[in-house]
Amino acid sequence: MSTFRAPKGTFDLIPPDSAAFLRVREVMAQTVRLAGYQYVETPAFEDTTLFKRGVGESTDIVNKEMYTFTTQGGDSVTLRPEGTASVLRAVLQANLEKAGQLPVKLYYSGSYYRYERPQKGRYRHFSQVGAEALGAQDPQLDAELIILAVDAYRALGLKNVRLLLNTLGDATCRPVYRAALQDYLRALDLDEATRARIELNPLRVLDDKRAEVQAQLTDAPRIVDYLCEDCKAYHDEVRGLLTAAGVAFTDDPKLVRGLDYYTRTTFEFVHDGLGSQSAVGGGGRYDGLSELLGGPSLPSVGWALGVDRTVLAMEAEGVLERDVPRVDVFAVPLNDEARTLFFGVITELRRRGVSADTVFGGRGLKGAMKAADRSGARYALVAGERDLAENVVQLKDLASGEQSPVAVDQIIPTIKEKLS
């Protein structure tokens, strides 16, 4: 063991669990690719100002959680705490919004960094898959993204992910609601920091997790009662589309994203098996963000799903597959001639799409059979002097223990057939 450890709040993805993480990412990505979302990858760090503007100066992320440093060249850069600002920056930089059909549909998968207090499900280095549809305002698009996330969770075998849904109104109705909420909040018994938040970012007070705050919010004005006609119709349509697609949801008038450029649809996916860090994913519409970054009007919607917490949710539901076989076929040569033969055989198997491995470094029969078992392989190929004299190898089913000779020139077709 080395004296070095992974930094606090981080962990290594190592086998066998690393396979589950890869699978979660791949299932999420595959689900959105079915709807035409294309892969985008942006740098792990950006100009600090991008996140200050794109995430918002009044958020915890910007105030407390960013990994910000000055480069050798004197620039202030920040490790990305989330994906949306970077993706939008990349789209605007490449003029993608002018290049073709709108919306531009993109997805990403990568590492994100927040200097948070680590606990189960909350890390300083974590992993998200995100999807963004940029440049269209259409209830079907909001519904599409929500349905895709639901389908991704389902494809992973999760049954208990709940969807919370809300709308935040738009530039017409939100300011009226915001003022009404501020009036209500100013009359409450709240600490200094929360009072400051009322002036800066009143919607976020609704999100306060403390019981003594929540107790005072039961009669707080609700955005649904302030929606303009357009926002109301839009939200009703999103709800109708979800229902028609068989997606259950709970209306949650306290679900907010506290920044002004977030508009209309907002949603969160939660799982009750995770303790306090129950949000497995979330997203919403951000019609005002592009302008804030100096771009044209580009109404957009997106989500980010947390890979780490999705894996924890799968564990909680008992649907996390741990013992994923490393390979299907494992070759155990008993002499040098068999070693040469099998090296050719496993090369050919791999070229035909069958995963295969063998022993390296001259281990004895016992060690080789142990390695075959550990690999999780369905079949072992075993051959020694006597077999090769008869021009056969032994094909052993590692689950049943059954073994039968196979002619050397029939190894590949026999294995292909057995695995099909």
User: Which residues line the annotated binding site?
Assistant: 82-84, 114, 128, 132, 257, 261-262
Q: Which is nearer to ligand AMP, 80 or 178 (CB)?
A: 80
Single out the residue of 306, 312, 333, 371 in contact with ligand AMP (rule: CB under 6 A).
Answer: 306
Nearer to ligand AMP, 54 or 282 (CB): 282
Among the residues of 297-404, which ranges form H helices? Answer: 307-316, 336-351, 365-374, 385-389
Query: 266 - beta bridge partners?
Result: 166, 284
Output the smallest distance, CB 19 to ligand AMP, in A. Answer: 19
- Residues from 80 through 99 that contact ligand AMP (CB under 6 A): 82
Q: How many residues bind ligand AMP (CB under 6 A)?
A: 16
**CB of 177 within 8 A of CB of 169?**
yes
Out of 80, 174, 264, 309, the only residue in the binding site for ligand AMP (CB under 6 A) is: 309
Q: Show the binding pattern over residues 101-130: x = contacts ligand AMP (CB under 6 A), - = does not.
A: -------------x-x----xxx--x-x--
Q: Which of residues 262-281 bind ligand AMP (CB under 6 A)?
A: 279-281
Question: Shortest distance, CB of residue 116 to ligand AMP, whole angstroms?
Answer: 5
Sheet holding 104-113, edge to edge: 38-39, 104-113, 125-134, 300-306, 279-285, 263-271, 161-167, 250-251
Count of C-beta atoms within a 10 Å radius of residue 57: 12
82 or 144: whose CB is closer to ligand AMP?
82
Least gap, CB of 150 to ligand AMP (angstroms): 14
Nearer Cβ to ligand AMP, position 122 or 350? Answer: 122
Beta carbon nearer to ligand AMP, 221 or 283: 283
CB of 306 to ligand AMP, least distance (A): 2
How many other CB atoms are found less than 10 A from the CB of residue 363?
Answer: 13
Enumerate the known binding-site residues for L-histidine.
Answer: 82-84, 114, 128, 132, 257, 261-262
Coil, helix or strand at residue 345 = helix
Q: Which stretch binds ligand AMP (CB under 6 A): 31-39, 287-295, 300-308, 324-332?
A: 300-308
DSSP string, 256-269: ---STT-EEEEEEE
Q: Which of 304, 313, 346, 356 binds ligand AMP (CB under 6 A)?
A: 304
Residue 117 or residue 370: which is nearer to ligand AMP going by CB? 117
How long is the chain? 420
Contacts of 280 (CB under 8 A, 6+ apart): 153, 161, 269, 270, 271, 274, 305, 306, 309, 310, 313
- Edge-first strand order for the sheet with 392-397 is 356-358, 329-333, 379-383, 392-397, 403-407
DSSP 315: H
Which of 132, 308, 357, 387 binds ligand AMP (CB under 6 A)? It is 308
Taking CB atoms, the residue at the shortest distance from ligand AMP is 306
Q: What are phi and psi of 211, to 5 degrees?
A: -60, -40
Shortest reach from residue 84's CB to ligand AMP, in Å: 8
Distance CA 118, CA 130 (A): 22
* 3 state SS of 29: helix
Q: Which CB, 283 or 288, lies closer to ligand AMP?
A: 283
Answer yes or no: are the C-beta atoms of 104 and 135 closer than 8 Å.
yes
**Of the two residues 62 and 280, which places its CB atom closer to ligand AMP in the complex?**
280
Burial of 170 (0-12, 13-18, 19+ CB in 10 A): buried
Q: Which residues in this chain contact ligand AMP in the complex, by CB under 6 A?
A: 82, 114, 116, 121-123, 126, 128, 279-282, 304, 306, 308-309
